[in-house]
């Protein structure tokens, strides 16, 4: 009963049990954590273009262009159960055809150990701000930053940061050289 294999088997089973208990402990110890934070966001120079969206329905839709300023310090959010933070900036607005629109303009992954303090100035949006239609002119858009807590084991939590900001697009299109110049 004390052969090499049976000892190996016992060792293996014990290791797995301990790992499982540790994981459960990590999960329970951070279950009630809220992970709140405050950020400061602002948008510069918002303009609206009217162009053909080749990635979608090939019709002319409104394209919003703006630059972002963001300040945040997220180092306090990393505890022993946080493997990674997935940050995303959402633009939310209302149009006559859609009562709710949300477009993610920017995202970033911050791993544990990386510097989580960001001071961003005049950054272009990472993704195109296409509207589903042509209702961006004079539209009041709210920018909200949120993060997804990626833990070692546990809930996938989405937390909205305090400190959203809004801006209003101008009422006129910005036209480039020709109306049919397509995507720039």
Partner 1 sequence: MHWSRKLISRLLRYAIVISTLLMLWKSLILATNCSQPILVVLSGGYSFHNLGDLLFVTNYPADSIRAGDVVVFRIEGRFIPIVHRVIRVHEREDGYVKFLTKGDGNSVDDRGLYSVGQLWLEREQIVGKVKGYFPYLGLFIILLSNLPLLDRLLLRVVT
Contact range with partner 1 by CB under 8 A, out of 35-43, 83-91, 162-170, 176-184: 83-91
Q: Which two tokens stand for residue 91?
A: 């633009």
In angstroms, the Cα distances linking 165 to 62, 70, 95 are 21, 11, 18
User: Which 19-38 positions form the footprint of partner 1 (CB under 8 A)?
Assistant: 23
Residue 4 or 54 with smaller CB distance to partner 1 = 54
**159: number of CA atoms within 13 Å, CB side?**
18
Contact range with partner 1 by CB under 8 A, out of 42-50, 51-59, 69-77, 161-169: 51-59
Q: How far is residue 14's CA from residue 24's CA, in Å, rounded to a whole number?
A: 15
**152: number of CA atoms within 13 Å, CB side?**
17
Contact range with partner 1 by CB under 8 A, out of 61-69, 102-110, 163-171, 173-181: 102-110
User: Mapping DSSP to helix (H, G, I), strand (E, B) and coil, where does residue 136 land?
Assistant: coil
Q: Enumerate binding residues for partner 1 (CB under 8 A).
A: 23, 55-57, 83-84, 86, 88, 90, 92, 97-104, 107, 109, 127, 132, 146, 148, 150-156, 158
């Amino acid at each position: 009963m004390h052969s090499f294999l049976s000892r190996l088997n016992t060792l293996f089973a014990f290791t797995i049990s301990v790992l499982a208990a540790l994981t459960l402990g990590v999960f329970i110890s951070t279950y009630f954590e809220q992970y709140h934070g405050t950020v400061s966001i602002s948008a510069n120079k918002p303009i609206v273009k009217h162009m053909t969206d080749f990635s979608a329905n090939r019709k002319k839709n409104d394209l919003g262009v703006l630059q972002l300023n963001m300040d945040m310090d997220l180092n306090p959010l990393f505890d022993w159960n946080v493997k990674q933070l997935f940050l995303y900036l959402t633009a939310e607005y209302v149009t006559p055809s859609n009562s709710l629109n949300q477009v993610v303009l920017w995202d970033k992954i911050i791993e544990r150990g990386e510097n989580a303090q960001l001071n961003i100035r005049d950054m272009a949006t990472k993704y195109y701000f296409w509207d589903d239609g042509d209702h961006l002119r004079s539209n009041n858009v709210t920018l909200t930053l949120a993060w997804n807590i990626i833990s070692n084991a546990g809930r996938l939590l989405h937390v909205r940061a305090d400190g959203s900001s809004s801006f209003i697009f101008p009422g006129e299109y910005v036209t480039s050289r020709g109306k049919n110049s397509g995507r720039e």
